[in-house]
Amino acid sequence: MSAPTVNYQYQRRYTGPIQAVILDLAGTCVDYGSMAPIQAFLRLFEQERIDLSEAEARAPMGTEKREHIRQLLAIPRIRDQWTARHGQAPDEDDIERLYRAFVPLQTDTIAGRATLIPGALELQAWCRDNNVRMGTNTGYNRDMVSAMLPHLTRQGFEPQSIVCATEVPQGRPAPHMSLQNALELEATAVQGCVKVDDTGTGIEEGLNAGMWTVAVVASGNAIGMDQTDWNRLLESEQSARLATARHRMAMTGAHYVIDSIAELPAVLAAIGIRLSRGERP
């Protein structure tokens, strides 16, 4: 008896619409300047009597927070301070102890930095109007996100999928969080998904997932300023800082670079046109 004939139909190029937008949280759609993690890390290392600069604290931004601590302790200046104070280089037990101390500090700072970035609600409305599903992922763990969500809900922001770095095999720059978002949002092609992030690590995550990527500059880690402080700068100073930050984020390989998610609907429309032509990320 011969085997049945199966008629497989292969689609060489995805030409459908955008299916899902996957947003980072801090610095992308909430907490202008991504200040909550920095405040928590500075407090953590101050408690350990270790001098940590804001620039050093920001260097691993986008990674899972335990990994963030590991990378901070690997900075020669920080490692040398630790060794001088404790008589030995930091080890995994130290990282775990610091992480346990960090979680309540981060949860506390999140509550005070849970204001949506301008444009977030308009983006959500655009997604609903255009039948695009919206999710978020983050280097925060679930307890940290749970502290933030009530504040976001009260402001009307309700992503359809939320994935934390501690809930997948590997955090950024591995693609697992974005791929888990895509599964939960029922996307059928990663080419129809867009990852939006304010860190190079987050952009790399999206690229590794095979998605379109959009880097956010002014509201995120690349500038690293609270909106009130940013607005106090002279226009010339803003322009100079933006030029430097845009260049740095362009070097991540992002397909698009924007100042804030207020500009994202226009970018999504442009990506939709490119998809209809058969273009891939």
Domains of the chain: 20-34+114-276 (3.40.50.1000), 37-111 (1.10.150.240)
Place of tokens 């005070």: 112
From the candidates 31, 51, 65, 94, which is the catalytic residue?
65
Per the annotation, the verdict on 195 as an active-site residue is no
Which tokens in the block code for residue 181?
């978002």
Closest among 221, 218, 225, 229 to 258, alpha carbons compared: 218
pLDDT at 12: 64
Please answer whether residues 211 and 281 qualify as being in contact, where contact means their C-beta atoms are separated by less than 8 angstroms: yes
pLDDT at 200: 96
pLDDT at 5: 45
- The widest CA-to-CA distance across the chain, in whole angstroms, is 81
Which tokens in the block code for residue 254?
């992002």
pLDDT at 3: 45
CA distance 61 to 56: 10
Tens-level pLDDT at each residue, the chain (281 residues)? 444 444 444 456 788 899 999 999 999 999 999 999 999 999 999 999 999 999 999 999 999 999 999 999 999 999 999 999 999 999 999 999 999 999 999 999 998 899 999 999 999 999 999 999 999 999 999 999 999 999 999 999 999 999 999 999 999 999 999 999 999 999 999 999 999 999 999 999 999 999 999 999 999 999 999 999 999 999 999 999 999 999 999 999 999 999 999 999 999 999 999 999 999 99
DSSP string of 72-132?
HHHSHHHHHHHHHHHSS---HHHHHHHHHHHHHHHHHHHHTT-PBPTTHHHHHHHHHHTT-
Is 0.75 surpassed by the pTM of this model?
A: yes
Per the annotation, the verdict on 94 as an active-site residue is no
pLDDT at 111: 85
